[in-house]
Structures are given as structure tokens and as C-alpha cells.
Amino acid sequence: MDAIRREEIDYLAAVARIRVLETRLLRDQEIDRMLDMQVADDVWKMVRELWDLPEEPLQDFERVLGEHLTGLYSYVTSFLPSPDVVYWLGIRNDYHNLKVLLKEALLHETANEGAFSDLGTVSVSQLRSQLDAFEEVRPHEHEPEVLVSWQERLPASYQQAVGDAQERYQATGDPQIIDVVLDRYQLGDSRQQAEVLGPEIHEMAVALGEMANLKILLRSNKLGKSLQFLRLALVEGGKLPPYRWEELLGRAADEVASSLGSPYEELIRSAGADPGRVEREADNFILKMLKTSRYVAMGPWPVVAFLWAKENDVRNVRILLSGKINGASTEAIRERLRDTYV
């Protein structure tokens, strides 16, 4: 307990700076103003002014937003007492890059440059070289850790995930299995690593796993997926054991809602059982959890909440700009926007 308290105090200055950065997160009024704008250029101009972005043309907005996010992550990391929370958030990006690299290797395809995330904890080139040496490294697993430098090896959880995905792909020849296995490992790994980062972050990691399970179940029902697929895709370690989710395969959304109870029932009912809307409600649910960080003065929780909220903002801007560029109606854009943090 003492250790945690001391760590939380270490974050005191960082949280103060986070509070300043939070003032630049998007507010509902700003989102409404952007929604009312007729032209995408005006929305882009407003976003550039709000976030001090370089004057780049509208068609480059994806790149500019990506660079903005990468810059923000490195800035936040620079004033944190420990980069653990940023690393924790980067796990999903590492797994994403692993998925791309594994698909490249197993399917003999070359991924576009844009397929890789810059927000991982390990650079893509390092992951690539480690993955290339994966087969050579594995036979030495029994050797003491000191014999194989940690820099030359993938983290143990990544190794296990990659090995499992490779094995299952070779057995089935189904590329979907690569994503399914790595997604499951990613959510499990996130949950496990969150245990040392504090109860709130752990609770968030569990909720992310639960929301992923809800998404997987509803989409499996819609796409007519098998029980075998669901078993492989479901994330363990949540409040509901996997068999509870498995029981609901092939059931109507109403039945799923009433069987799962709170908070899933409200989520499903408010979204009208449409998986796309459930996804939006699930994102809002996580954002609601993050809002508790506003009453926390120290510790890593406000940092995680801010970075997550920033990514949420970037997604909202992307939805707004894509919608405006392609002439989508205001209502169509609004119903896809996620809630704001501030």
C-alpha cells in the first residue's frame, strides 16, 4: 500500500500538467460548432487552431492527426516519473504491429506503410527483426535468460502469442485466426499488466476485455460464427466467465441483453441491438469510467484517462472530417460521434 501511495505522489506534478493539457480536449460545444459547419475545410481549420496543428492541406489530415498523437505521447512520457502507463497503452499497438508483421510473414504479403502504428512500445523494425529471428530464438528457450539478451527477444507474452497464432494458422490456413489469437492475447496481456498500475487501470482493462467480449458475441451472432470461433475469440479474466458468453451464441439481442444484466443490458437496449451502436455505447461506457479520474489528484489514472480521451477526440475529429468530406448528413455524423471527456 505504501509503495502505491509513494508512486502516486510521484505523479503529482505530472497530473498538474495533465490538467492543463485537458483544457485543450474537445468540448461538446466545439463538436456542435464543427457539426454545424458546411465545409470540411472549415472543420479542419478549427481543429488546427484548437490543437495548434501545422497548416497542412485537408487531404493529409490522417497523417497530421497521427503525428499530433505521436508527439503528444512522447511529450507526456517526457514528464512522467515512469513510462509504465504509456507502455501499457502501447501494448495494443505492439500487438497491432505484430499482427501486420505476422500476416506479412505467413501470407507472403507486403503491408502498406500506413498499416503500422507509431505508438507501440517497440519499434516496427525491431519487432520485425525479432520476429525474423523468432524461429532461431525459440530452441534456446530452456537456456537461462542471461544467455539471450532481452533486447534480442520478444517479451515472453508476445512470444507466446506469436507462437500460438503461427501454430493455429499453420493448422487451419485461416488468416482470421492470427487476428483472433493476437487480440485475445493483447486484451489478456493488458489486463495482467494493469494489475500493477492501480485498481482503476486494472478495472478499465477488465472492462475493455468485457466490452470486447460483448462486441465479439453480438458480431458473431450477426455473422453466424461458430461456437468454436467464439471460444477462441473470447477474452478471459472478465467479470463474466467465458461459458456465460458462449451460452448466448445464436440468441436474439433481447435475450442476450436480459441474460447479461447490468451494465450490458442498458448498453444493448440503448443501442437498439445494432453492433455498431453497441460499440459506440461501449466506447462511451469506458469514457464514463475515465471521468472518475477528474477527482483524482495523483497517480497514473488521470494520465491514462487523458491519453485515452485524446485518442477519443482524434477519432471524433476523423469521423467529423470524413463525414463532411463525403457529404454525410449532420445526423449521420452525430450518431457515430463518441461522447467527450470534458
Partner 1 sequence: MEIRVNATRMELLKLKNRVRMAQRGHKLLKDKRDELMKIFLGLVRENKEVRERVERLLGQAYRSFLVSRAVMSREALEEALMSSRDELKVSVALKQVMNVVVPQFKVEDADESSVYAYGLATTSAELDDALGAFAAVLPDLIRLAEVERSVEILADEIERTRRRVNALEYVLIPELEVAVKNIAMRLGEMERSNATRLMKIKDIVRGE
From 4-12, 95-103, 132-140, 246-254, give the range in contact with partner 1 by CB under 8 A. Answer: 95-103
Q: Tell me which stretch binds partner 1 (CB under 8 A): 13-21, 91-99, 189-197, 244-252.
A: 91-99
Three-state secondary structure readout of 202-252:
HHHHHHHHHHHHHHHHHHHHHHCCCHHHHHHHCCCCCCCCHHHHHCCCCCC
Q: Which CA distances in Å does 74 have to 17, 32, 77, 199?
A: 14, 30, 5, 25
* Binders of partner 1 in range 15-44 (CB under 8 A): none
| CA distances for 149 relative to 83, 145, 188, 256, 319, angstroms | 21, 7, 25, 48, 44
C-alpha cell recorded at residue 244: 456465460
* Contact predicate 300/77, CB 8 Å: no
89 near partner 1, rule: CB under 8 A = no
112 sits near partner 1 (criterion: CB under 8 A): yes
Q: Which of 175, 188, 250, 263 binds partner 1 (CB under 8 A)?
A: 175
Query: Which one-letter amino acid corresponds to residue 310?
Result: K
- x/- site string to partner 1, residues 177 to 216, per CB under 8 A? --xx-xxx-xx------------------------x--xx
Q: How far is the CB of 312 from partner 1 (least distance, A)?
A: 12
Asked whether 181 and 168 are in contact (CB, 8 A), the reply is: yes
| Listed ranges 24-32, 41-49, 244-252, 268-276: which one lies at the site for partner 1 (CB under 8 A) | 268-276
Instruction: Give the C-alpha separation, 176 to 284, whole Å.
Output: 28
Binding site for partner 1 (CB under 8 A): 62, 66, 92, 96, 99-100, 103, 107, 109, 111-112, 114-117, 174-176, 179-180, 182-184, 186-187, 212, 215-216, 218-220, 222-224, 233, 235, 274-276, 278-279, 315, 318-319, 321-323, 326, 328, 332, 336
